Structure 1
Amino acid sequence: MADIAHSVHVALGSRAYDILIGEHLLDQAGTILAERFPGRRYGIITDDNVAAAQLPRLLAALDAAGLSHGEIVLPAGEATKSWALLGQAVDGILAARLERGDLIIALGGGVIGDLAGFAASIARRGMGFVQMPTSLLAQVDSSVGGKTGINSPHGKNLIGAFHQPRLVLADLSTLDTLSPRQFAAGYAEVVKYGLIDDEAFFFWLEANLAEIFAGGPARGEAIARCCAHKARVVIEDETEQGVRALLNLGHTFGHALEQDTGYSDRLLHGEGVAIGMALAHGFSAQQGLAPSQDTGRIVAHLQKAGLPTTLADIPGTLGSTDALMAAIAQDKKVSRGALTFILTRGIGQAFIAKDVDPKAVAGFLNDRRG
């Protein structure tokens, strides 16, 4: 019996699936897959960092269950979400003679989950895939909900498809191999769920921060609560026509900063989200929408978690405000050329703000640049 501490069901009719959360699930993956998807062959897509740390465990589990598999190992890093490496992944799937009814396994963080899911969506006009997220960010956010894709020189995640996984296996033990910086970056997405519409969860995070980082029971509970939150939103708005956009709190600013820093290790995705959430709350306060003391409380919590919260925290020199605004103008939420931001009236009170004045945003960014 698998050591499943939490299970979340994503009720999407014929495309429903479960999120299983627990310790050492990679070591039990063969048994779980054989029971749920008998007769399948598997194509594993991962990156070289995860391959060194986690792939042997998964291969041993698949072999023990007698499951046929092949592996495609890509470079680690955000720059992997490109046309060239997407093509390499799809070619690998076809070269392995995987059939339409077989399954792709995305073993890794958000980059691999996004790219492997997109590859599965287009290989043989659509194959099923299983998410096995190995980073905190992927376990609480990107592995759930079916958003897949790659980046473009014009912006982040502008090329992709909605393609739901068949199963998500979140092995808590994989988080023990993350660097403190990587774990903190993932924690930004945890905080996001409290800031959107769950003030009580944010307060709970303030009380349980140490245990979450230390790996106690609060860690699994936090991940399960985030997954349940996202599942509810995805069920209501699968293709982001409305309320699902709230999950992008902090991402409009964050994605622009990631693009400006070249999708490099200068700024991890979660770090961009942390700064973006601080900016979104700060801009909301400047516009008279939210109390400034809430911004201070949020910033203090993010900083306690070891996250950057200001533009000055980004190493190196940022591009001009005009360059950041050009990136913001390519955000997926832009409609008929009008800027759409996720703003807030306070902790747990995020809302979709349409037709935001770009001059006000540019002025705010100039102020924050000092």
Structure 2
Amino acid sequence: MDLLLADRAAEPPTPLRVFPLAGPPGAALYLKDESRRPTGSLKHGPARDLFLDALRCGEIGPGTPLFEAASGNMAVAQAHFARLLGLSYTAVVPGKTGPDKRRRIEEQGGRCHPFDPPLAVYQKARFLAEASSGHYFDHLQRVGDAVDWSGPDSLGAGILSDLEKRGEPAPAWIVAGVGSGVTSAAIGRYLRMRGAGTRIAVVDPENSAYFPGWAADFPGYTTGMPSRIEGIGRPCVEPAFDASVVDLVIPVPDVASVAAMRHLRAITGLMAGPSSGSCLWGAFHVLDRMRREGERGAVVMVVGDGGETYRDTYYDDAWIEAKGWQLHGPLSDLERFTATGTWGVTPAG
């Protein structure tokens, strides 16, 4: 635990970048760049908190083998901390998981255990942990209770601190993606603890349960369909999602998410993942809403991860064409808003 806490204390804060906007007047857009975490995503902090929680509960000891059902950024971050502690780590991944995703986990010292069908990876990870007297993190179920949302190193604290250093008040809105739900919950709880007037907007891709579940006030809502925007969207509302601290859920078409991630790179040079494209699209909706309602203040959107992992997918024109996504329309909308502050896009749903 001392090693992990020292690691957290030594980690530099992630940057707050400015997104250049011509309008609307009285509003500014900032990018909280969590892709600068040591393992390249905002999952880095929650993964460390899962380790700390398991250590406090006595679930991890010397030589305990570790298991998780994950193939993305959470698995990469967990493999990193397992290596830091000298423990073995296995990520149970769907059989179709590509070599690049497996390589990222293996580069951090983990190993991948492919298994099908995809929805059975959770049971398989639990079985492997039990069979080896190991520990199964079960992050979708446990991360909400594990994350230290109230501390000075939390994401919410970091955003407010960044703006204070610029001599600015708390932002009017913070826009984040929602996968496990822990990011929006942690930020929202911290803001309410501080008494800040900041509102939380989360963006939700197609096939995901969060927007319909939130709109219907039904936390048990299920779509049974996978998200096509990596890093966010779930077929069911996960336990970590806290609807009570969310002020707005914005459904984002998948094609708009992909167009926005490319627009983000074109304007700022920042190569981010598709979830950040969803957040940029949502941030533009929020800024337009502020303009129409005469509200002033800053909007901060969370950049979830870097884009290098997606060179052969979301940044590849042939891959996009095979998906049938036509980016021209949403790209025109994004370019017009950046240049003039005129949006005119009605939110989906």
Does TM, scored on the shorter chain, surpass 0.5? no
TM-score (norm 2): 0.34
The structure with the greater share of residues assigned to helix is 1
